[in-house]
Amino acid sequence: IIPEPFNFIVNAQMGVLWFNAKITGKPCHVLQTSAGSNAIEGAFSLFAALKVLEEKYNEPSNRHAVYEGIDHPVNFNLGKIEGGNWASSVPSSCRFEARVGFWPGIKIEDVKRDIESTLNDEANKLGLGLEIAYRGFQADGAILLPDFVGGEASGKKSLQTDFVDSLQKCYKTASAGDESNAGRKLLIKPITCTCDARFYSNLYQNSGNVVVTCVGPESDSIHGVDESVSLKSFRDCMVTIA
Protein backbone atom coordinates (compact mmCIF):
# COMPACT_ATOMS: atom_id res chain seq x y z
CA ILE A 1 0.00 0.00 0.00
CA ILE A 2 1.45 3.36 -1.08
CA PRO A 3 -0.01 6.01 1.31
CA GLU A 4 -0.26 8.93 -1.11
CA PRO A 5 -3.01 11.40 -0.07
CA PHE A 6 -5.91 9.87 -2.01
CA ASN A 7 -8.68 8.73 0.32
CA PHE A 8 -9.84 5.90 -1.92
CA ILE A 9 -8.45 2.68 -3.38
CA VAL A 10 -6.55 3.49 -6.57
CA ASN A 11 -7.09 0.99 -9.39
CA ALA A 12 -5.09 2.78 -12.11
CA GLN A 13 -2.81 5.72 -12.77
CA MET A 14 -1.78 7.79 -15.77
CA GLY A 15 1.51 7.74 -17.60
CA VAL A 16 3.50 10.98 -17.20
CA LEU A 17 6.26 12.48 -19.31
CA TRP A 18 8.27 15.68 -18.72
CA PHE A 19 10.15 17.52 -21.43
CA ASN A 20 12.01 20.78 -22.13
CA ALA A 21 11.66 22.81 -25.31
CA LYS A 22 14.15 25.44 -26.46
CA ILE A 23 12.75 27.86 -29.06
CA THR A 24 15.02 30.04 -31.18
CA GLY A 25 13.65 33.10 -32.96
CA LYS A 26 15.22 36.14 -34.60
CA PRO A 27 16.13 39.17 -32.46
CA CYS A 28 15.60 42.74 -33.57
CA HIS A 29 14.87 46.24 -32.24
CA VAL A 30 11.28 46.95 -31.24
CA LEU A 31 11.10 49.82 -33.76
CA GLN A 32 10.42 47.09 -36.34
CA THR A 33 9.16 44.00 -34.55
CA SER A 34 7.96 42.40 -37.78
CA ALA A 35 11.59 41.99 -38.84
CA GLY A 36 12.15 39.51 -36.02
CA SER A 37 10.64 36.29 -34.69
CA ASN A 38 9.46 36.44 -31.09
CA ALA A 39 10.53 33.22 -29.39
CA ILE A 40 8.34 33.81 -26.31
CA GLU A 41 5.21 34.30 -28.40
CA GLY A 42 6.30 31.25 -30.37
CA ALA A 43 6.44 29.17 -27.16
CA PHE A 44 2.78 29.93 -26.46
CA SER A 45 1.85 29.01 -30.04
CA LEU A 46 3.70 25.72 -29.70
CA PHE A 47 1.97 24.87 -26.44
CA ALA A 48 -1.41 25.79 -27.96
CA ALA A 49 -0.69 23.15 -30.63
CA LEU A 50 0.02 20.65 -27.85
CA LYS A 51 -3.35 21.45 -26.26
CA VAL A 52 -4.98 20.29 -29.49
CA LEU A 53 -3.13 16.98 -29.06
CA GLU A 54 -4.37 16.86 -25.46
CA GLU A 55 -7.97 17.07 -26.66
CA LYS A 56 -7.30 14.32 -29.20
CA TYR A 57 -6.02 12.06 -26.42
CA ASN A 58 -9.20 12.80 -24.43
CA GLU A 59 -11.57 11.87 -27.26
CA PRO A 60 -13.95 9.01 -26.28
CA SER A 61 -12.53 6.77 -29.01
CA ASN A 62 -9.07 7.03 -27.42
CA ARG A 63 -10.18 6.72 -23.80
CA HIS A 64 -9.07 3.80 -21.63
CA ALA A 65 -11.99 1.89 -20.10
CA VAL A 66 -10.76 2.36 -16.52
CA TYR A 67 -11.25 6.15 -16.91
CA GLU A 68 -14.86 5.92 -18.07
CA GLY A 69 -16.87 8.70 -16.40
CA ILE A 70 -13.79 10.72 -15.37
CA ASP A 71 -13.89 14.28 -16.72
CA HIS A 72 -10.85 15.19 -18.88
CA PRO A 73 -8.38 12.62 -17.48
CA VAL A 74 -5.46 13.48 -19.78
CA ASN A 75 -3.84 16.79 -18.91
CA PHE A 76 -0.88 18.69 -20.37
CA ASN A 77 0.67 21.41 -18.21
CA LEU A 78 2.98 24.29 -19.09
CA GLY A 79 4.90 24.37 -15.82
CA LYS A 80 7.84 26.72 -16.38
CA ILE A 81 8.90 29.31 -18.96
CA GLU A 82 11.81 31.72 -19.30
CA GLY A 83 13.19 33.84 -22.11
CA GLY A 84 14.25 37.22 -23.43
CA ASN A 85 16.77 39.76 -22.16
CA TRP A 86 14.87 43.03 -21.76
CA ALA A 87 11.68 44.77 -22.85
CA SER A 88 13.05 46.62 -25.90
CA SER A 89 14.26 43.70 -28.00
CA VAL A 90 12.27 40.99 -29.77
CA PRO A 91 13.40 37.92 -27.79
CA SER A 92 15.45 35.40 -29.74
CA SER A 93 15.22 32.52 -27.28
CA CYS A 94 12.76 30.94 -24.89
CA ARG A 95 12.65 27.72 -22.91
CA PHE A 96 9.67 25.98 -21.39
CA GLU A 97 9.08 22.82 -19.40
CA ALA A 98 5.87 20.83 -19.75
CA ARG A 99 4.18 17.76 -18.34
CA VAL A 100 2.19 15.41 -20.58
CA GLY A 101 -0.24 12.77 -19.32
CA PHE A 102 -1.20 9.67 -21.29
CA TRP A 103 -3.24 6.48 -20.93
CA PRO A 104 -2.06 3.20 -19.40
CA GLY A 105 -0.97 0.85 -22.16
CA ILE A 106 0.37 3.62 -24.42
CA LYS A 107 4.10 3.37 -25.14
CA ILE A 108 6.26 6.31 -24.07
CA GLU A 109 8.01 6.30 -27.46
CA ASP A 110 4.65 6.81 -29.18
CA VAL A 111 3.88 9.79 -26.93
CA LYS A 112 7.31 11.29 -27.65
CA ARG A 113 6.66 10.89 -31.36
CA ASP A 114 3.31 12.73 -31.02
CA ILE A 115 4.94 15.56 -29.04
CA GLU A 116 7.80 15.97 -31.47
CA SER A 117 5.61 15.82 -34.57
CA THR A 118 3.16 18.39 -33.14
CA LEU A 119 5.84 20.84 -31.98
CA ASN A 120 8.06 20.52 -35.03
CA ASP A 121 5.14 21.11 -37.40
CA GLU A 122 4.16 24.29 -35.54
CA ALA A 123 7.77 25.54 -35.26
CA ASN A 124 8.29 25.04 -38.99
CA LYS A 125 5.11 27.02 -39.74
CA LEU A 126 6.38 29.89 -37.60
CA GLY A 127 9.96 29.74 -38.86
CA LEU A 128 11.33 28.99 -35.38
CA GLY A 129 14.21 26.79 -34.32
CA LEU A 130 13.30 24.04 -31.85
CA GLU A 131 15.17 21.60 -29.62
CA ILE A 132 13.34 19.07 -27.43
CA ALA A 133 14.91 17.19 -24.51
CA TYR A 134 13.38 14.79 -21.98
CA ARG A 135 14.16 14.93 -18.28
CA GLY A 136 12.52 13.78 -15.08
CA PHE A 137 9.43 11.61 -15.36
CA GLN A 138 9.24 9.08 -18.16
CA ALA A 139 6.66 6.98 -16.34
CA ASP A 140 4.36 4.40 -17.89
CA GLY A 141 0.72 4.32 -16.91
CA ALA A 142 -0.42 1.36 -14.82
CA ILE A 143 -3.53 -0.70 -14.15
CA LEU A 144 -2.95 -1.53 -10.50
CA LEU A 145 -6.07 -3.65 -9.95
CA PRO A 146 -7.03 -5.39 -13.21
CA ASP A 147 -9.93 -7.15 -11.47
CA PHE A 148 -11.44 -3.74 -10.56
CA VAL A 149 -11.21 -1.83 -13.84
CA GLY A 150 -14.83 -0.66 -13.57
CA GLY A 151 -14.56 0.17 -9.86
CA GLU A 152 -16.23 -3.10 -8.81
CA ALA A 153 -14.90 -6.65 -8.74
CA SER A 154 -15.15 -8.45 -12.05
CA GLY A 155 -16.92 -11.35 -10.34
CA LYS A 156 -14.09 -13.82 -9.92
CA LYS A 157 -12.42 -14.40 -6.57
CA SER A 158 -8.71 -13.61 -6.61
CA LEU A 159 -5.87 -12.32 -4.49
CA GLN A 160 -6.94 -8.82 -5.56
CA THR A 161 -10.53 -9.25 -4.37
CA ASP A 162 -9.33 -10.76 -1.07
CA PHE A 163 -6.92 -7.84 -0.64
CA VAL A 164 -9.59 -5.21 -1.33
CA ASP A 165 -12.09 -6.96 0.98
CA SER A 166 -9.50 -7.00 3.78
CA LEU A 167 -8.63 -3.36 3.16
CA GLN A 168 -12.29 -2.32 3.32
CA LYS A 169 -12.82 -4.26 6.57
CA CYS A 170 -9.72 -2.73 8.16
CA TYR A 171 -10.78 0.77 7.10
CA LYS A 172 -14.28 0.21 8.52
CA THR A 173 -12.76 -0.88 11.84
CA ALA A 174 -10.24 1.99 11.88
CA SER A 175 -12.89 4.66 11.23
CA ALA A 176 -15.58 3.18 13.49
CA GLY A 177 -15.09 5.90 16.10
CA ASP A 178 -15.62 8.69 13.56
CA GLU A 179 -19.36 9.29 13.17
CA SER A 180 -18.86 11.11 9.87
CA ASN A 181 -17.11 8.05 8.40
CA ALA A 182 -18.97 5.27 10.19
CA GLY A 183 -19.70 2.42 7.80
CA ARG A 184 -18.28 4.23 4.77
CA LYS A 185 -16.57 2.07 2.16
CA LEU A 186 -13.57 3.37 0.29
CA LEU A 187 -14.33 4.12 -3.34
CA ILE A 188 -12.28 2.33 -6.01
CA LYS A 189 -11.22 4.61 -8.83
CA PRO A 190 -8.24 5.80 -10.91
CA ILE A 191 -6.04 8.86 -10.49
CA THR A 192 -5.15 11.23 -13.33
CA CYS A 193 -1.53 11.59 -12.20
CA THR A 194 1.23 9.14 -11.32
CA CYS A 195 2.58 7.77 -8.04
CA ASP A 196 5.16 5.24 -6.86
CA ALA A 197 2.71 2.33 -7.08
CA ARG A 198 3.66 2.01 -10.75
CA PHE A 199 7.09 0.64 -9.82
CA TYR A 200 5.58 -2.37 -8.08
CA SER A 201 2.87 -2.79 -10.71
CA ASN A 202 4.94 -2.42 -13.88
CA LEU A 203 8.29 -3.81 -12.75
CA TYR A 204 7.55 -6.42 -10.10
CA GLN A 205 3.86 -7.28 -10.03
CA ASN A 206 2.50 -10.69 -10.78
CA SER A 207 -1.15 -9.97 -10.00
CA GLY A 208 -1.54 -13.55 -8.85
CA ASN A 209 1.14 -13.13 -6.18
CA VAL A 210 1.48 -9.40 -5.44
CA VAL A 211 -1.18 -6.68 -5.18
CA VAL A 212 -0.34 -2.99 -5.07
CA THR A 213 -2.58 0.03 -4.63
CA CYS A 214 -2.52 3.53 -3.23
CA VAL A 215 -4.64 4.59 -0.22
CA GLY A 216 -3.98 7.61 1.96
CA PRO A 217 -5.57 10.39 3.99
CA GLU A 218 -7.99 13.01 2.70
CA SER A 219 -6.12 15.95 1.22
CA ASP A 220 -6.76 19.53 0.22
CA SER A 221 -5.00 21.78 -2.33
CA ILE A 222 -2.42 19.20 -3.45
CA HIS A 223 0.68 21.01 -4.80
CA GLY A 224 -1.09 24.30 -4.06
CA VAL A 225 -1.19 26.97 -1.37
CA ASP A 226 -1.91 25.56 2.10
CA GLU A 227 -1.57 21.94 0.98
CA SER A 228 -2.82 19.79 3.85
CA VAL A 229 -4.21 16.43 4.96
CA SER A 230 -6.96 15.68 7.48
CA LEU A 231 -5.51 14.51 10.80
CA LYS A 232 -8.57 12.30 11.45
CA SER A 233 -8.21 10.73 8.06
CA PHE A 234 -4.45 10.36 8.61
CA ARG A 235 -5.19 8.44 11.81
CA ASP A 236 -7.74 6.21 10.07
CA CYS A 237 -5.30 5.48 7.27
CA MET A 238 -2.48 4.68 9.73
CA VAL A 239 -4.67 2.29 11.70
CA THR A 240 -5.99 0.68 8.52
CA ILE A 241 -2.49 -0.11 7.27
CA ALA A 242 -1.39 -1.31 10.73
How confident is the model over 168-209, as pLDDT tens digits?
999 988 888 666 666 678 999 999 999 888 877 666 666 667
Give the Cα separation of 4 and 188 in Å (integer): 15
pLDDT at 30: 86
Average confidence (pLDDT) over 24-37: 86
What is d(CA 182, CA 161) in angstroms, rounded to the nearest whole number? 22
Q: What residue type is 240 in one-letter code?
A: T
Residue 59 has a pLDDT of 95
Residue type, 20: N
Q: What is the pLDDT confidence band of residue 224, given thresholds at 50, 70 and 90?
A: confident
Q: What is the DSSP string of 174-187?
A: HTTT-TTTTTPPPP
pTM equals 0.88
Mean pLDDT computed over 138-164? 87
DSSP 111-144: HHHHHHHHHHHHHHHHT-EEEEEEEEEEE--EES
- Report which residue type is found at 201: S
Whether residue 128 is predicted with pLDDT greater than 90 in this model: the reply is yes
pLDDT over 90 at 38, yes or no: yes
Q: What is the pLDDT of residues 78-111, one digit of tens each?
A: 999 999 988 999 999 999 999 999 999 999 999 9
